[in-house]
Amino acid sequence: MNIGIVCYPTFGGSGVMATELGKALAEKGHMVHFITYQQPVRLSGFYTNIFYHEVRIPHYPLFDYPPYETTLASTMVDVALNHQLDLLHVHYAIPHASAAYMAKQILRKKGKNIPVITTLHGTDITLVGKDKTFEPVVTFSINESDAITAVSNHLQKETFKYFNIEKEIHVIYNFVDIQRFNKKPLEAFRKAIAPNDEKIITHASNFRKVKRIKDVIDVFHLIQQKIPAKLLMVGDGPDRPEAEEQCRLLGLMESVRFLGKQQEIEEILAISDLFLLPSEYESFGLSALEAMASGVPVLSTNAGGLTEINRDGITGYLANVGDVNGMAKIGSELLGNKSLLLQMKTAAAEHALQFDIEKIVPEYEALYRQCVAK
Ligand code: GMT
């Protein structure tokens, strides 16, 4: 099939998922066309079946706001016609689903019918979508999609609860490439981070409010009073300066490393003992799944779809949002119990197999086939 993928090209989970999906589809012989405003971060190097089309927004002094959605729709039309696309798969409802609707109508006038598949990733529904200024367009463009998918049962339910959706929403979970994350730890790297054999705790996100970065530092602060530990903070975003200040005030700068945005997250996870994800909400929690695939137990909240992937007491622990003391207590107990830690590491890696790329990508292909055949 010739598949057009529209996504945010950034480090966010939706862009990562969309890019990994495109790469997997290309490997299976499909022609994949990414349509984004920047080269997706997980798309480096040359792939025979992958094409990248940049959405170029002309800057006229006339416009206070560059008309991104219009340019995106026009690029979708251009790519669909010139590369004989069979379908458009858009990730994140805003503004991709509405731009796809526009592109679909233009293509129809030109005699080409193209199905649009919209994947809902989370904040497009739970944070941004519910906003009254977006809701009518979000509801309309989701309903106009030929197929809708959500990344967890929880997100599916939330979407039905807050929007008047008249169609089925298929749940297709986030996935992980087990081969990539199943890495042996680099001992020299581990030694450089934890020279005295401290436990290594890792957090990775885009440091937005929803991730509760302050809780990450507070939980770590309490854990390292009981267990010698280091914290690796992977990623970047608006709450990073505050987090660094919090570490300075708590005297933690020696034990916490802010690594910024990292491409080789699997190398970092391979040397980690525990992954912390105290989010206010996660529709799924892709970073937790990547940790589990690397054999790292996850200490997360029980918010949103996290309960669908992190099995309490088996692959890690679930806690209430904001329960810093509770998280610190179970975190230190786990890190101080060698055999339990080993058992959880194994269970996390085993559980991640359920979300292997080889199992999930065929679910998208089956949906594509259904839409194209209609
Ligand atoms: O978590 C983020 O801030 C990034 C966000 C995004 O939209 O790119 O991630 C969302 O989509 C991921 C992929 O489907 C999910 O694994 C994340 O849980 C979800 N984030 C939230 O719901 C907060």
pLDDT tens digit sequence for 70-110: 999 999 999 999 999 999 999 999 899 999 999 999 999 99
Above pLDDT 70, what percent of the chain?
Answer: 99
Cα 61-66-72 angle, rounded to 5 deg: 140
**Whether 271 and 239 share a structural domain:** yes
Residues 281 and 164 reside in one and the same domain: no
Ligand 1 shell residues, CB under 6 Å: 12-15, 17, 92, 121-123, 151, 174, 206, 208, 210, 281-286
Q: What are the residues whose beta carbons fall under 8 Å from the beta carbon of 101, sequence distance 6 or more?
A: 116, 140, 141, 144, 145
Kindly report whether the peptide bond that precedes residue 228 is cis, defined as omega within 30 degrees of 0. no
Cα-based distances in Å from 224 to 153, 219, 269, 322: 36, 9, 19, 19
Q: Convert the pLDDT of each residue in 202-226 to its tens digit.
A: 999 999 999 999 999 999 999 999 9
Q: In angstroms, what is the span from residue 270 Cα to ligand 1's centroid?
A: 22
152 CA: nearest ligand 1 atom: 14
CATH at 293: 3.40.50.2000
Q: Determine the angle formed by the axes of helices 286-293 and 13-27, rounding to 10 degrees.
A: 60
Shared domain check, 190 and 152: no
Q: What is the DSSP string of 132-190?
A: TTTHHHHHHHHHHSSEEEESSHHHHHHHHHHS---S-EEE----B-HHHH-PPP-HHHH
Question: Are residues 191 and 331 both part of a single domain?
Answer: yes
Predicted pLDDT of residue 374: 87
Same-domain check for residues 302 and 364: no
* Tally of domains in the chain: 2
Ligand 1 mutation target, pool 283, 287, 321, most atoms within 8 A of CB: 283
**CA 286 to ligand 1: nearest atom:** 16
Burial classification of residue 280, based on how many CB atoms lie within 10 Å of its CB (0-12 exposed, 13-18 middle, 19 or more buried): middle
The reported pTM is: 0.94
Share the mean pLDDT of the chain: 95
Give 265-278 pLDDT, tens digit per residue: 999 999 999 999 99
pLDDT of 128 higher than 90: no
User: Of ligand 1's atoms, which has the minimum distance to the CA of residue 14?
Assistant: 8
Task: Give the nearest ligand 1 atom to 208 CA.
Answer: 3
Characterize the bridge pairing of strands 50-54 and 256-260: unpaired
Average pLDDT on 255-259 reads: 98
**268 and 363 assigned to the same domain:** no
59 and 142 housed in the same domain: yes
Same domain, 108 and 231: no
Segment 307-325, tens digit of pLDDT: 999 999 999 999 999 999 9
The length of the chain is 374
pLDDT surpasses 90 at 304: yes
Confidence class of residue 60 from pLDDT cuts 50, 70 and 90? confident
> Going by C-beta distance under 8 Å and a sequence separation of 6 or more, which residues neighbour residue 235?
11, 203, 204, 205, 206, 207, 260, 261, 262
Ligand 1 atom 7: the closest Cα is on which residue? 14
Quick one: which H or E segment has residue 211? Answer: none
Residue-number span of the structural domain to which 20 is assigned: 2-175+357-373
187 and 140 within one domain: no
Same domain (yes/no): 214, 144? no
Q: Tell me: do 189 and 129 sit in the same domain.
A: no
Tokens encoding 180: 């990539």
Asked if residue 272 and residue 170 are part of one domain, the reply reads no
Longest dimension (CA), the chain: 68
Q: Is the pLDDT of residue 166 over 90?
A: yes
How far apart are alpha carbons 42 and 37 in whole angstroms?
14
pLDDT reading at 367 higher than 90: yes
Joined together, the tokens standing for residue 51 give 């094409």
